[in-house]
Structure formats: structure tokens, C-alpha cells
Amino acid sequence: MESAICGGVSDGTRLIETFGWHPGEGFRHLNRHLDRMGRSAKVLGFCFDEAEARAVMRADGSLPLRCRLTLGVEGFAFTSAPLGAPVPFWRIGMALARLSSDDPWLRHKTTRRAVYDAARAAMPDGVDEMLFLNERGELCEGTISTLFVTTRAGDVLTPPVTSGCLPGILREILLQQSEVREAVLVPEDLRRAVRIEVGNSLRGRIAARLLV
């Protein structure tokens, strides 16, 4: 059982879930997002009430929306904005900062995002995402996405959470459907890959090109 890491939750830290709303479909993967928030809330000591979470969420219209549900010590908050059109691929680079594989906060999606925000703020023109390595040189994740690598053998691999990754919702779905499997990955795997993708539950899997 995961131990509590409650230090700092009173400093304004909030849990975050970001997901899509689509006309005729509603909130996409909502149950999974609420389940993840509930698990993190239990570890971090937040009061989580699923009925209250659902009560604050309102969305309608004719266009897809990007929705954000947060939970702090003072309760839930919900915002939404137009999702925007999909793009055919993302150009990705490598972040200079490294993640610590034993950092328990990496297992939870929270507003403690300084390292991710700094990497995004420093992205050169023409770059859409940055990938992180951990202290052992293993690939972890992007600033807002999970990494998927297709090998020459046809396997689709994603880094294990033990490398220093958020257990993403898209990742969870693909693992349960046996479409991907976990494997420790290093930068050389990107160069050997048949296909590189990044993704999240909001936008799905996105083809990616590594900029070297």
C-alpha cells in the first residue's frame, strides 16, 4: 500500500484531472479520471467526494471542450475552454532537467509542476513537447504526455511508472487492452524506433518526430 506523502498539501497544492467533453458523448473517460483523483486524494489527505465532483462539472455547446477539474483543501473547481483542432504530429525534444524516479509526487497529477512548466517555457520555436530522462538516463514522460515507442518487432512500449512517470489515463487504457506494454526505455530506443508517439486522454495518441 502506498504511504501518505501529505507534506505540502496545505501550501495550495491541488490535484488536477484534464479531460475532454465532446458533443453527443459527454465527458470522455470521466470515471477513470475520477477514480485516479480519488486514489491520489486518499494518499495526499484530501477530502474527495465523487458526487460533489460531478456536481461542479457543467459543459455544453457544439464544439469539443478541454475540461479541468481540480481539488484542493477548499474543495473542487472546474473550468473549460475550446479544445482546438488536432494536429498531425508533434515535434519533440529532450528536456535538460531530469526527474527522480523515486519522487512519489510523480505518481500524482497535481499543481506541483515546476519542472514541467519550466521545460515548456524553455521550448524552442517549432517544438511541441519535451521528454524527460531520470537520474539513470531512462526515458520517463513528456511535460503533458505519455511516451509510446513502436519497435521493429512491432511491440508498442511505454516506460514503467518506476522510471518516474504519471500513471496516465490513456496509458492505463492501452495497457489494459494489451495494445502496449511496459519496458524501460533509453534515448537510443527513440532513434531505433519505427514510430514514436506521445499522448494523453485529452488528445489520444499523436505521432511524434524527434528533433536532434
Residue with cell 499522448: 199
Domains of the chain as residue ranges with CATH: 15-82 (3.30.470.10), 89-210 (3.20.10.10)
Cell of 118: 519550466
For 59-93, write each residue's pLDDT tens digit: 999 999 999 999 999 999 999 999 988 889 999 99
Cell of 103: 519522487
Residue 11 is predicted with a pLDDT of: 77
- Is pLDDT at 154 greater than 50 in this prediction? yes
Q: Are 193 and 149 in contact (CB under 8 A)?
A: yes
d(CA 104, CA 76): 23
Mean pLDDT throughout 46-65?
A: 96
Residue with cell 453527443: 24
Residue 112 is predicted with a pLDDT of: 94
> Which ranges in 18-97 belong to alpha helices (H)?
30-44, 50-56
d(CA 47, CA 201): 25
d(CA 24, CA 31): 17
For 1-22, write each residue's pLDDT tens digit: 444 555 446 678 999 999 999 9
Q: Are 138 and 131 in contact (CB under 8 A)?
A: no
Q: Report the mean per-residue pLDDT for the chain.
A: 94
Residue 1 is predicted with a pLDDT of: 40
